[in-house]
């Protein structure tokens, strides 16, 4: 029993260290953060992504306090403005601003769907959004490479948004979240509008962290 307790305690220490690495942006990905945390603590124990997310959530709560909630509402409102401009491209809010777990280093992640990113770029320009960078990104999922076009926006508040343009056939494809293990549903424009009017601080996590 004592050994189990000791292992559990160490898993939490590694998860906490990984969370701090992510929060301070010393690492960008959970996998690398966990490995570095374990290396720093000189152990071979690797917690799950969910354990790291739980510790990150707690650390953000301790560090940022009530301003975290104010920022979340602000970022959701900003997301709605971007989605207003992109209504014709089936926008969905995903990531930490959808989840309700955003912190001061988070950006706003929006997925759109189009055969060509050009009309989305034109629409953003028409609505006077400040585009600071565009790039193609490639990821490997289930052994297959997938490319998507990413548009980075600097918002007047100082926050940033990243608009991912994915192919139309991906629109109804279900994706499993690598952190929480559930399906990434996100929020459509009407859904986000309803959340902001009724429950602006609502969280979308499988279990309340």
Q: Among residues of the chain, what percentage have pLDDT more than 90?
A: 86
**Is the pLDDT at 205 greater than 50, yes or no?**
yes
Residue among 208, 40, 105, 29 at smallest CA distance from 13: 40
Residue 143 CA, chain-centre distance (Å), reads 23
Does the domain formed by 67-198 have CATH 3.30.460.10? yes
Residue among 166, 183, 186, 187 at smallest CA distance from 174: 183
pLDDT in tens, 173-186: 889 999 999 999 99
pLDDT in tens, 159-178: 999 999 999 999 988 899 99
Give the residue, 55 or 8, on which the prediction is more confident. 55
In the block, tokens 């970022």 appear at 75
> What is the number of H-type helices and E-type strands within the chain?
7, 6
DSSP-H helix ranges across the chain:
2-23, 30-40, 49-64, 67-85, 95-99, 118-126, 189-198
Q: Among residues of the chain, what percentage have pLDDT more than 70?
A: 96
């Amino acid at each position: 029993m004592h050994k189990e307790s000791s292992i559990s305690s160490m898993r939490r220490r590694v998860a906490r260290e990984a969370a701090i690495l992510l929060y301070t942006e010393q690492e960008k990905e959970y996998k690398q953060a966990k490995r570095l945390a374990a290396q720093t603590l000189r152990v071979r124990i690797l917690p799950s992504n969910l354990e790291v997310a739980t510790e990150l959530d707690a650390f953000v709560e301790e560090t940022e306090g009530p301003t975290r909630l104010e920022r979340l509402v602000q970022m959701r409102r900003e997301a709605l403005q971007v989605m207003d401009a992109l209504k014709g491209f089936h926008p969905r809010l995903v990531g930490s601003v959808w989840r309700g777990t955003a912190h001061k280093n988070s950006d706003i992640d929006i997925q759109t769907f189009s055969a060509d990113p050009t009309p989305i770029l034109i629409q953003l320009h028409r609505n006077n959004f400040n585009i600071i960078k565009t790039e193609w990104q490639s990821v490997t999922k289930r052994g297959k490479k997938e490319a998507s076009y990413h548009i980075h926006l600097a918002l007047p508040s100082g926050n940033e948004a990243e608009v991912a343009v994915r192919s139309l056939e991906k629109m109804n494809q279900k994706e499993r979240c690598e952190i929480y293990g559930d399906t990434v549903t996100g929020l459509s424009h009407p859904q986000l509008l309803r959340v902001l009017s009724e429950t602006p601080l609502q969280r979308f996590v499988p279990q309340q962290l």
